Amino acid sequence: MNVLREYIRELLTEDSLSYIKDMVGAQESGEIDRDLGVTDWEDYEEKTNVRSKKAIISQTKQKDVFRKHADHQWLSSLSTVHWSMSSADPSSLSRLESKDELSATMSLPGKVLRPYGRGRVGLWIKGRITWATNHQDTTWSGTQGDYNYTQQQIKSSGRNKRPMNIQWQFAEDWADVLESGEMSDRAKKSLPVLGPENWNPATLDSNEALVDNWKAYAVVVNTPNAGDYLEKLKINPDLRKWFRPVEGLARSYGVPVVSAGKSLILPANTTLKSYLKKLGAK
C-alpha cells in the first residue's frame, strides 16, 4: 500500500523539466518578463521598477508556476525560521500576523536550524512554503516596507511577498534541455527548491523560503545547544537581562524557547527565573 501511495504521489508531482517548460512558456507569452526583476547590480532600496503593475503580475506568475510543480509534501517536512536582524529587539517578532507571508531559512528534518546572517533570535514557524530557493540572492523578497499594500489586502490575504527576479531561469539558457528532454542533476539544483532533487543550500549564506498561513512553533536562540546556554544563564546576570524579551516573545505565542540544535532552553509558558531555580540555580 505504501509503495502504491508513493507511485501515485510521483505521478501527481511535477518534475524540474515540467517546471522549466512552464517557466519558459510564461516568458515567451509575456506573462513573465525578465526585465521586470531586480538583479545584484541594481540597488533594491531605490525601488526602481518593482512596484509597477507589470512587475507584480510577472512575479506573481513565478509563484504560480512554483506552486504547480513543487512537492508540497516534502516542503512541509522542512524546518523554517524567520529571524530578526542582529540589532533588532526580539519583541519585534511578536508583532507579526499569521496571514502575512514571512521570509525564512530552511533546514532538513533532524538538522540544526539554519540562521540568517548574524541574527540572534528567530521564530520557528510552520506553514505553507510558497517559494523557496537555495540562496537568498535569487529571491530578493525585501522587507514588508518595500511593498505597497491596500487595507483590503491586509485584511483578506495578508501581506504577501514575491520573488523579484528569475535568475538562472531565462528561456534561452534552457533550449538544449527542452530539446533533449533531459536535465542534469547540476541543472536541477540551480532551480528553486521544488523538492529534494533541487536541494543544494548555499554554504556561505542562507537559503530562503516564503512561508504563508503560518503558526509559531518555538522561539529560537542562535546557540548550538541548550545545556551550555542554560549554564551561562545561571551565572550571567547580563545574559539573563538580554533574555527577558526572548522570554516575553515566547510567552506572547505560548511556545517554548529552543537552541538552533533544537534542544529545550525554556518550556512554554514558564518563567526563566522559576525554570533556572528548578535546575538548581541560586
> What phi and psi values does residue 3 have, to the nearest 5 degrees?
-65, -40
**pLDDT number for residue 95:** 78
**pLDDT number for residue 140:** 65
Burial (0-12, 13-18, 19+ Cβ within 10 Å), 1: exposed
> What number of CA atoms fall less than 13 Å from residue 136's CA on the CB side?
16
> What phi and psi values does residue 215 have, to the nearest 5 degrees?
-130, 145
Q: Extract the C-alpha cell encoding 19.
A: 517546471
- Cα 54–chain centre separation: 25
- Mean pLDDT of the 261-274 span: 96
pLDDT of 235 over the 60 cut: yes
Tell me the pLDDT tens digit for each residue of 153-196.
Answer: 444 444 567 676 666 677 888 999 999 999 999 999 999 999 99
- Cα 269–chain centre separation: 26
**pLDDT number for residue 145:** 57
Residue 48 binned pLDDT confidence (cut-offs 50, 70, 90)? low
- Cα 175–chain centre separation: 30
Residue 147 binned pLDDT confidence (cut-offs 50, 70, 90)? low
Q: Give the closest residue to 44 by CA, choosing from 139, 181, 158, 175.
A: 139
48-62, 95-109, 212-226, range with the lowest pLDDT: 48-62
Rounded to a whole number of angstroms, the distance between the first and last alpha carbons of the chain is 57
pLDDT of 20 over the 50 cut: yes
- Return the SS3 of 223: coil
- Return the SS3 of 10: helix
Residue 36 binned pLDDT confidence (cut-offs 50, 70, 90)? low
pLDDT of 105 over the 60 cut: yes
- Mean pLDDT of the 106-120 span: 92
What does pTM read for this prediction?
Answer: 0.85
**pLDDT number for residue 90:** 82
Listed by start position, the domains of the chain span 2-217, 223-278
Tracing cell 510558497 back to the chain, one arrives at 130
Greater confidence (258 vs 33) lies with 258
pLDDT of 43 over the 50 cut: no
pLDDT of 259 over the 60 cut: yes
Tell me the pLDDT tens digit for each residue of 49-61.
Answer: 555 667 778 888 8
| Pairing mode of beta strands 257-259, 208-221 | parallel
- Mean pLDDT of the 57-70 span: 90
Tracing cell 525578465 back to the chain, one arrives at 34
- Mean pLDDT of the 103-111 span: 95
**pLDDT number for residue 59:** 81
User: What value does the mean pLDDT of the chain take?
Assistant: 83
Residue 69 binned pLDDT confidence (cut-offs 50, 70, 90)? very high
35-49, 58-72, 82-96, range with the lowest pLDDT: 35-49
CB–CB of 76/204 below 8 Å?
A: no
Instruction: Determine the Cα–Cα distance for residues 58 and 54; give it in Å rounded to an integer.
Output: 6
Instruction: Determine the Cα–Cα distance for residues 233 and 102; give it in Å rounded to an integer.
Output: 30
Instruction: Determine the Cα–Cα distance for residues 267 and 282; give it in Å rounded to an integer.
Output: 19
**pLDDT number for residue 34:** 74
- Mean pLDDT of the 69-87 span: 92
